[in-house]
Amino acid sequence: MTQAGKKKKRAVNRSIMLAKKIIIKDGGTPQGIGSPSVYHAVIVIFLEFFAWGLLTAPTLVVLHETFPKHTFLMNGLIQGVKGLLSFLSAPLIGALSDVWGRKSFLLLTVFFTCAPIPLMKISPWWYFAVISVSGVFAVTFSVVFAYVADITQEHERSMAYGLVSATFAASLVTSPAIGAYLGRAYGDSLVVVLATAIALLDICFILVAVPESLPEKMRPASWGAPISWEQADPFASLKKVGQDSIVLLICITVFLSYLPEAGQYSSFFLYLRQIMGFSSESVAAFIAVLGILSIIAQTIVLSLLMRSIGNKNTILLGLGFQILQLAWYGFGSEPWMMWAAGAVAAMSSITFPAVSALVSRTADADQQGVVQGMITGIRGLCNGLGPALYGFIFYIFHVELNELPMPESSSGGTVVTQYHLQQNSIIPGPPFLFGACSVLLALLVALFIPEHTNLNVRSSNWKKHCGSHGHPHSPQAPGEAKEPLLQDTNV
């Protein structure tokens, strides 16, 4: 080989090594605007869920038009498949983001989560099919929490997570009402175009403005960095449940109480629209009021209850409110009953933060990630099982509409169809009654949880894993047991 050829080969090798170094350092994309901050994460979350919130009313209409005979069953299957895929893929995406950086996976998750939006008007069948498959990447919150943890100290993390959660709630408080108004005034096509534009704006914001948060020193030195099966195994946290009786009681409580909650989130707004005769504006107003009351309950009310009656009693009180809320939904046959039960639902939202606080206060410092990981794993599993279970119960009790909603009356409200009341006059909402029974079992289990007990999860391998692959959605400091009560899969 000539001297010139050797020099050329060396130059090519240097270029390849430089390109690899840039990709490993910056997650494959240029650095964004300024230093990484919580505000970057907040904007990403707000834009994504604002776009989806706009589609609340149009989605309910398209869902019923596409599946007129088995609306609730198909809705449950679609959301159930999406939830299960998210549960299975979340650990792997988290582990890969430890290797390739957060920015790349923020872009990936937002892109695929929002990909179905323009298909709503192009092809409804493809729209719902892509929604189901998009569950593989519908884990934006996991990557956002990783991003936030990269750039915050432990004592700052609870406040940062709270800001992300509040932003998520704020986007869903405002966007359904805006979408319903624009749909009524200008048609659903404009709403879909606007939602698509906001989703594209979010993608462009990530590409241009979001800087990489993962420090270079935390990245592997080469592309060949191994990812263990334990990191990517979605059932890893669930395997640890039986190793401590207290942990087992807490996880059973979470499973029995969150299973109906996940199913309720997937179908309740469709239930209001198609069965209870709510107009699009009424559904949007219901979401807004419920969101505002939930924010108040999870901040002011929760803090007062924790100080006055203690952690365990707060959990029991939250479960009691949830039983009342679900029973009211199950037997309620008038719109005002739904509004009243919604106020109770806001109070029931204190349950999971109280459970997380109990775990963070009683578990050893080096066991926080293990126990919190178990609870998160249980909730992820419920996000897949709950919607499918609710859809199936609606189906076997013949809670269906075989006709499109009747025209809206001159007063602005929808004429309530009598189909549902004729079929199920005693129990209008069977799945909600089933959920109340499930939460009652959770309440009985929670009675046996001690107020003050050290949780000891005997797993040295897990602790070693948490220590060597520290990841924000694994270990948590005692004071940071906060995450949104609504996950990506509940939109």
Q: Give 413's pLDDT tier (boundaries 50, 70, 90).
A: very low
Please tell me the predicted confidence (pLDDT) of residue 231: 62
Give the pLDDT confidence score for residue 324 in this predicted structure.
93
Burial group, residue 155, by CB count within 10 angstroms (0-12, 13-18, 19+): exposed
Structure token digits, residue 418: 């009598």
* Two tokens, residue 466: 């948490």
User: For 452-466, b where at least 16 C-beta lie within 10 A, e where not — what string?
Assistant: eeebebebeebbebb
CA distances for 313 relative to 354, 357, 417, 440, 450, angstroms: 9, 12, 42, 15, 11
Q: Is the pLDDT assigned to residue 476 strictly greater than 90?
A: no
If one counts every other C-beta atom within 10 angstroms of the C-beta of residue 33, the result is 10
Q: Is the predicted pLDDT of residue 479 greater than 50, yes or no? A: no
Q: For residues 133 and 31, which has the higher predicted lDDT (pLDDT)? A: 133
- Flag whether pLDDT at 323 surpasses 90: yes
* Alpha-carbon span 244 to 169, nearest angstrom: 34
Residue 293's pLDDT is 86
What's residue 159's pLDDT?
66
3-state DSSP assignment of residue 414 = strand
- Residue 488: closest CA among 68, 157, 112: 112
Q: Please list, in sequence order, all residues whose beta carbon lies within 8 angstroms of the beta carbon of residue 93, skipping any fewer than 6 positions away.
A: 105, 108, 109, 137, 139, 142, 143
Average pLDDT score over residue span 459-465: 44
For residue 469, what pLDDT is reported? Answer: 42
Q: How confident is the model at residue 436 (pLDDT cuts 50, 70, 90)?
A: very high
Confidence check: pLDDT of 52 > 80 = yes
Kindly report the CA angle at 231 between 227 and 235, in degrees rounded to 5?
140
Output the CA–CA distances (angstroms, integers) from residue 60 to 129, 153, 322, 386, 486, in the order listed.
16, 42, 25, 19, 19
| Region 302-308 average pLDDT | 85
The pLDDT tens digits for 224-278 are: 455 666 666 777 767 776 677 887 888 899 899 989 988 887 778 878 877 787 8
How many Å from the N-terminal Cα to the C-terminal Cα in the chain?
62
Confidence of residue 490 (pLDDT cuts 50, 70, 90): very low
Percentage of the chain lying above the pLDDT 90 cut: 12
| Candidate ranges 193-197, 400-404, 486-490; pick with highest mean pLDDT | 193-197
pLDDT single digits (tens) 148-192: 877 877 666 656 766 777 777 778 777 888 888 888 888 889 999
pLDDT value of position 5: 57
Rounded to whole angstroms, the Cα distance separating 274 from 392 reads 17
pLDDT at 365 over 60: no
Of the pLDDT bands very low, low, confident and very high (cuts 50, 70, 90), residue 355 is confident
Helices (H) and strands (E) in the chain, counts: 22, 0
Residue indicated by tokens 């999860």: 457
Residue, of 98 and 272, whose pLDDT is higher: 272
Alpha-carbon distance values, 216 to 22, 27, 99, 145, 473 (Å): 10, 10, 10, 18, 19
Task: Tell me the mean pLDDT in the region 80-106.
Answer: 80
* pLDDT tens readout for residues 415-430: 444 444 444 445 677 8
More confident residue, 112 or 14: 112
SS3 state of residue 50: helix
Lowest mean pLDDT among 130-139, 214-223, 291-300, 379-388: 214-223
Helix (H, G, I), strand (E, B) or coil at 408: strand
- DSSP symbol at 481: -
DSSP string, 185-228: HH-HHHHHHHHHHHHHHHHHHHHHTPPP-S-GGGS-SSTT----
Q: Which domains does the chain have, with CATH numbers?
A: 32-214 (1.20.1250.20), 237-400+430-450 (1.20.1250.20)
**Confidence (pLDDT) at 412:** 41
Average model confidence (pLDDT) for the chain?
74
Distance between CA atoms of residues 180 and 281, nearest Å: 6
Task: With a cut of 60, say whether residue 282 has pLDDT above it.
Answer: yes
